[in-house]
Amino acid sequence: MKVLQINSTCGYGSTGRIAVELGAFLLEQGHEFLIAYGRGTAPENVKNLRIGSDMGVNIHGVLSRMTDRHGFYSSRATKEFIKRAEEYNPDIIHLHNIHGYYINIKLLFDWLAQANKPIVWTLHDCWAFTGHCSHFDFIKCEKWKTGCFSCPQKNEYPTSLFLDSSKRNYEDKRRLFTSVKNMTLISPSQWLAEFAKQSFLKKYKTEVINNGIDLETFKPLNQGKFRKDNNLENRFVVLGVASKWEERKGLEFFVSLSEKIVENTKIVLVGLNDKQIVGLPKSILTIKRTDSVQELAEIYSTADVFVNPTMEDTFPTTNLEALACGTPVVTFDTGGSPESIDEKTGYIVERGNTDLLLEKIQSVREKGKAAYTANCVNRAKAKYGKTDRFAEYLACYKNILG
């Protein structure tokens, strides 16, 4: 079986890592894969195809900001990619993020409709069925159900500085994305799957395959060195992690918590940029983004509780990584975040309720992390190992091919 994956990145970022790791699994099972991507660089040992160039991404981004027509540029790059894809002649075409300023969705879907290949599309966010945004739950917008217009998030990714083309985008995306005959949608969470079933993509079968993580990397590790190096010995550590801290990730709630937490408690935040670090209270231990998964696993293992006050998220991998390292999770009841937690592995809190967030953190402190660790690790092993999740993708491919 030959599988062509298409994604904005290859090997970095959550979707880029998923694409590479899924490809490695397919290779181990005796299949062939190629990852076509649009941004950054790819690992040398991964069979890949770059769509366009950095300059092309920049031009697409500028034009998108001017016209709000994200996804309708990069024509030459897309035509060249289609020629290479036809030469590869895959059995399955697996889409991930096709937004990101690198591919022309009209040319892509015109080709997909004509090629009549089986398509699997993993929806990592809501962009596929909106006229502009990738998330809308934060502002409780429901225009996507019947037709977008006057977008309230025009200035959010993919940012438009001048025009609002959300109505035109919505109609074009509905026409293009429903033009193919044989497509299966995959959602990492039941939450997103339910949205897809209410959208113009409802004609297609939707399956839920949770994100998976590397359980050989994310597991309980010795935490002594990190605590000693950062003066955390005998402290109750409250951890927050994000690849990019932005408003919807809930950074403000950690600031509020820092003003309310009891003595001998330390908040540790990972993934911050320089500007954010300068603006945060000195009482918070701040760490820039780390590309070392080993270091990240050590930090997860160090924490007594992982707090995820996200206001909008599809199915955060950070929750899974914390569980696998034996650390209980407290999260807001938003998006797909609560789906990874049960009553033995953490707490689900009303969105935006800082007092209740603090109360559940205190509950973990009173019971002690040890009361949760075994249940956290067992849940991660049972439900979120990447090998098992990739096996579900392979079963999906085989089922589609008959």
The verdict on 237 and 275 lying in the same domain is: yes
Q: Residue 65: its pLDDT value, please?
A: 97
Q: Are 92 and 118 spatial neighbours (Cβ–Cβ below 8 Å)?
A: yes
Q: What is the pLDDT of residues 40-52, one digit of tens each?
A: 999 989 999 999 9
The verdict on 18 and 74 lying in the same domain is: yes
The verdict on 117 and 197 lying in the same domain is: yes
The verdict on 164 and 268 lying in the same domain is: no
* pLDDT over 90, % of the chain: 88
The verdict on 203 and 187 lying in the same domain is: yes
Position 349 pLDDT exceeds 80: yes
In a domain, 219, yes or no: no
Position 392 pLDDT exceeds 80: yes
Q: Which domain holds residue 276?
A: 224-383
What's the rounded mean pLDDT across residues 273-300? Answer: 89
The verdict on 71 and 145 lying in the same domain is: yes
Picking from 301, 282, 293, the residue whose alpha carbon sits closest to that of residue 243 is 293
In a domain, 217, yes or no: no
Q: Residue 12: its pLDDT value, please?
A: 84
In a domain, 218, yes or no: no
Q: What is the pLDDT of residues 304-313, one digit of tens each?
A: 999 999 999 9
Q: Residue 37: its pLDDT value, please?
A: 98
Q: What is the DSSP string of 199-265?
A: STTTTSEEEE----B-TTTSS----HHHHHHTT-TT-EEEEEE-SS--GGGTHHHHHHHHTTPPTTE
Q: Residue 289: its pLDDT value, please?
A: 80
Q: Residue 244: its pLDDT value, please?
A: 85
What's the rounded mean pLDDT across residues 360-374? Answer: 97
In a domain, 16, yes or no: yes
Tell me, yes or no, if the pTM score tops 0.75: yes
Query: Which CATH number covers residue 6?
Result: 3.40.50.2000
In a domain, 126, yes or no: yes
Q: What is the pLDDT of residues 112-169, one digit of tens each?
A: 999 999 999 999 999 999 999 999 998 999 999 999 999 999 999 999 999 999 999 9
The verdict on 22 and 149 lying in the same domain is: yes
In a domain, 295, yes or no: yes
For tokens 């991930």, the residue is 96
The verdict on 274 and 208 lying in the same domain is: no
The verdict on 264 and 125 lying in the same domain is: no
CA pair distance 121, 99, nearest whole angstrom: 13
Position 282 pLDDT exceeds 90: no
- Which DSSP symbol is given to 150? S
CA pair distance 363, 205, nearest whole angstrom: 41
Q: Residue 237: its pLDDT value, please?
A: 96
Position 284 pLDDT exceeds 80: yes
C-beta atoms surrounding 400 within 10 Å: 16
Position 249 pLDDT exceeds 80: yes
Question: What tokens does 347 get?
Answer: 């707490």
> Which of the four pLDDT bands, split at 50, 70 and 90, describes residue 72?
very high
Q: Residue 387: its pLDDT value, please?
A: 96
Pairing of strands 329-332, 265-272: unpaired
The verdict on 158 and 270 lying in the same domain is: no
In a domain, 361, yes or no: yes
What average pLDDT is seen over the chain? 95
For tokens 């330390």, the residue is 266
What's the rounded mean pLDDT across residues 343-357? Answer: 96
**Overall number of domains in the chain:** 2
The verdict on 161 and 273 lying in the same domain is: no
- Which DSSP symbol is given to 344? T
The verdict on 340 and 392 lying in the same domain is: no
C-beta atoms surrounding 249 within 10 Å: 23
CA pair distance 176, 183, nearest whole angstrom: 13
How far from chain centre, in Å, is Cα 201?
20
What's the rounded mean pLDDT across residues 358-365? Answer: 96
Give the 3-state DSSP-derived string for 258-304, with helices as H, strands as E and coil as C: HCCCCCCEEEEEEEECHHHHHHCCCCCEEEECCCCHHHHHHHHHHCC
Q: Residue 106: its pLDDT value, please?
A: 98
Q: What is the pLDDT of residues 205-232, one digit of tens each?
A: 999 999 999 999 999 997 678 898 898 9
Q: Residue 194: its pLDDT value, please?
A: 97
